[in-house]
Homo-oligomer: A and B are copies of this chain.
Amino acid sequence: MKYPNSGKVYVKPNVSASNRGMSLEEDINRTNQYYLSEDIAVIHKKPTPITIVKVDYPKRSAAKITEAYFKLPSTTDYNGIFKGRYIDFEAKECESNTSFPFSSIHAHQIEHLRSVLKQGAIAFIILRMVNYDKDFLIKADDFIAFYDRKERKSLPYSWIEEHGFVIGKSYIKPCDYLSIVTEAFEV
């Protein structure tokens, strides 16, 4: 990830994992679609935040954005409602075998997780350890407690294995995180 001098825009990392099948985002979106169709939960990914600079309004056709930039997100990417509870999470793919670097999560997003926890949210991180082919759910309060100790700049894989909950998958629910939410948060 590259932060240019302005500090206001950033180069969006390419998180697609097309070489190894579906990306985590696609898997979560498909699972959310299933949850929605079965009235299990209503959870959506937020649109990518951008700053629009220029828009053309051609006659008889759709408005065309001709200049826009990616903005740093001020919240996590996903939120919604499940069994009457507010759900909030961030999803990340991690290519390393040994640890998940904190630099992959923006400071604003960690502050956002703190804020929603204060309000009683069910908040967590979904972490795909790409090389292990495993998805983990990590409770936001566990993550923040470790982060706040400031002893390390990443979550070691051993910590992830100890504190994370492995998320199951099936064809219709390629990232069935709500089964884990029920267990981990006793909802």
Chain A residues with CB under 8 Å of chain B are 4, 6, 9-12, 36, 39, 41-42, 44, 46-50, 52, 57, 60-71, 74-75, 79-86, 88, 112, 115-116, 118-121
Q: A62, B70: Cβ atoms under 8 Å?
A: yes
Q: A66, B63: Cβ atoms under 8 Å?
A: no
Given A11-B62, A47-B47, A83-B119, 9 more pairs with CB closer than 8 A: A11-B57, A36-B115, A44-B75, A50-B68, A63-B70, A79-B80, A84-B85, A84-B120, A86-B86
Q: How many copies does the complex hold?
A: 2
- Smallest CB-CB separation from A4: which chain B residue? B62
- With contact pairs A46-B47, A47-B50 given, residues A41 and B4 touching in the complex (Cβ less than 8 Å): no
Q: How far is the CB of A8 from chain B (nearest CB, A)?
A: 8
- With contact pairs A81-B116, A119-B42 given, residues A63 and B69 touching in the complex (Cβ less than 8 Å): yes
Chain B residues, CB < 8 A from A4: 60-62
Q: B41, A119: Cβ atoms under 8 Å?
A: yes
Chain B residues, CB < 8 A from A84: 85-86, 119-121
Q: How far is A11 from B80 in the complex, measured between Cα atoms in Å?
A: 27
